[in-house]
């Protein structure tokens, strides 16, 4: 009798444990998984430092692409840009002057000298003809004839020389000099572009539609290079992060649809699983409660449509359930 009672008690205990386990699993599926809203912030900064002259937005404001956010002092950068622009214009002018060659007045002077050389060559040619006839008639000596011949040859070479000078003056600078001047123009253009970039970087604007989550400096404070001045929260960067116990993680895949219940909203939100952590972890302390303590869980992230996510705030607690699609 005692053995039979003991056996029945053991079977009853096993049944009770099974019921508790099944009811616990059922309760986990019904209640969903715990999580919270997370946001990935855009920290807007300038690569250059300076005093914060203007802060155009305030915390909590909503901005659209192109909205000015802040402006740092940039008097030195504006002066450097102006100087670089003037140097660029000077280099361009030098290049154009080098391509043009000599001035019109210089060309006219060379043309006049060429005309004089041609006239002298023609005169010495006529003199040579006369001297040649006299030499053949034995009226002059050979030395007088040679003197006339050499004079004409010298005048002819002078004509060739003046023609070469005129042609060179019309050509402009040498090829190497022009290439060097071109390189100087390109270097000046790069310097001007860098100076213009420096001026532009002192003022930053919003790149996306977003909420101004925080402003980190006040006007008049010095901002070090690279330090963020404004943090933005774009709807596309808002997601839900929840934690799934290890036995249930196999139910979820990337692309799965989930229902996210946010306290204060009349109906759950639809989300799509975008990331599953490959490593398990223990339940984060923020999610500890009486029924869920130090469980081995996997972190899962899901995203919302931008129109839905715009009204969510990082840190809001949520309950997540898997939905069938």
| Model pLDDT for residues 50-101, shown as the tens digit of each residue | 999 999 999 999 999 999 999 999 999 999 999 999 999 999 998 888 877 6
210/180 same-domain check: no
Residue 264 belongs to domain spanning: 32-40+235-322
217-257 residue pLDDT tens: 999 999 999 999 999 999 999 999 999 988 888 889 999 99
Is the pTM higher than 0.85? The answer reads: no
> Which pair of structure tokens corresponds to residue 218?
């006040």
The beta strand positions in the chain, using DSSP E, are 33-39, 42-45, 50-55, 62-63, 68-72, 203-205, 210-215, 222-223, 228-233, 238-245, 257-262, 269-276, 281-282, 296-303, 317-322
In whole angstroms, give the CA distance from residue 79 to residue 203: 16
Report yes or no on 103 lying in a domain: yes
For the chain, residues with pLDDT lower than 50 are 1-29
For 318, counting Cβ atoms within 10 Å of its Cβ (0-12 exposed, 13-18 middle, 19+ buried), the class is: buried
Which of these, 95, 7, 62, 26, lies nearest to 206 by C-alpha position? 62
Which of these, 237, 251, 243, 228, lies nearest to 286 by C-alpha position? 243
152 near 124, Cβ under 8 Å? Answer: yes
67/86 same-domain check: no
> Which pair of structure tokens corresponds to residue 23?
């009811």
Report yes or no on 69 lying in a domain: yes
152/225 same-domain check: no
257/278 same-domain check: yes
Report yes or no on 21 lying in a domain: no
Instruction: Please state, for a pLDDT cut of 90, what percent of the chain lies above it.
Output: 57
Question: Which residues lie closer than 8 Å to 204 by C-beta, 6 or more apart?
Answer: 44, 45, 46, 68, 69, 70, 71, 229, 230
The beta strand positions in 40-188, using DSSP E, are 42-45, 50-55, 62-63, 68-72
In this prediction, residue 308 carries a pLDDT of 84
The three-class DSSP label of residue 2 is helix
126/182 same-domain check: yes
In whole angstroms, give the CA distance from residue 288 to residue 248: 18
* Interior angle at CA 137, CA 134 and CA 141, nearest 5: 60
Report yes or no on 156 lying in a domain: yes
Q: Tell me, what CATH number does 214's domain have?
A: 2.40.50.100
Report yes or no on 24 lying in a domain: no
In this prediction, residue 284 carries a pLDDT of 66
180/106 same-domain check: yes
In this prediction, residue 242 carries a pLDDT of 93
186/291 same-domain check: no
In this prediction, residue 22 carries a pLDDT of 36
In this prediction, residue 11 carries a pLDDT of 38
Indicate the number of domains in the chain.
3
| Residues recorded for the chain | 325
In this prediction, residue 176 carries a pLDDT of 83
Report yes or no on 1 lying in a domain: no
Q: Tell me, what CATH number does 279's domain have?
A: 2.40.30.170
271 near 240, Cβ under 8 Å? Answer: yes
| H-run or E-run covering 146 | helix 142-171
């Amino acid at each position: 009798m005692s053995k039979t009672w003991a056996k029945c008690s053991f079977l009853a205990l096993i049944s009770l444990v099974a019921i508790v386990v099944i009811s616990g699993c059922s309760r986990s599926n019904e209640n969903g998984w715990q999580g919270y809203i997370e946001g990935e912030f855009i920290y807007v900064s300038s690569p250059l430092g300076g005093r914060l002259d203007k802060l155009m937005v305030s915390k909590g404001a909503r901005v659209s692409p192109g909205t000015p956010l802040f402006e740092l002092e940039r008097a030195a950068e504006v002066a450097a840009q102006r100087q670089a622009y003037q140097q660029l214009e000077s280099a361009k002018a030098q290049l154009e002057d080098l391509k043009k060659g000599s001035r019109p007045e210089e060309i006219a002077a060379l043309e006049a000298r060429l005309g004089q050389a041609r006239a002298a060559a023609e005169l010495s040619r006529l003199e040579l003809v006369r001297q040649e006839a006299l030499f053949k008639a034995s009226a002059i000596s050979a030395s007088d004839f040679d003197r006339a011949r050499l004079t004409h040859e010298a005048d002819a070479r002078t004509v060739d020389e003046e023609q070469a000078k005129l042609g060179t003056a019309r050509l402009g600078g040498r090829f190497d000099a022009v290439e060097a001047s071109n390189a100087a123009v390109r270097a000046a253009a790069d310097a001007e572009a860098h100076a213009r970039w420096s001026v532009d970087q002192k003022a930053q604007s919003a790149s996306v539609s977003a909420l101004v989550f925080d402003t980190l400096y006040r006007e008049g404070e010095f901002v070090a290079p690279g330090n963020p001045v404004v943090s933005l929260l774009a709807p596309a960067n808002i997601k839900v992060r929840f934690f799934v116990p290890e036995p249930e993680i196999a139910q979820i895949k990337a692309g799965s649809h989930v229902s996210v219940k946010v306290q204060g909203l009349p109906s759950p939100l639809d989300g799509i699983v975008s990331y599953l952590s490959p490593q398990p972890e223990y339940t984060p302390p923020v999610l500890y409660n009486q029924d869920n303590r130090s469980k081995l869980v996997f972190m899962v992230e899901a995203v919302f449509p931008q129109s839905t996510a715009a009204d969510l705030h990082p840190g809001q607690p949520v309950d997540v359930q898997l939905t069938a699609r």
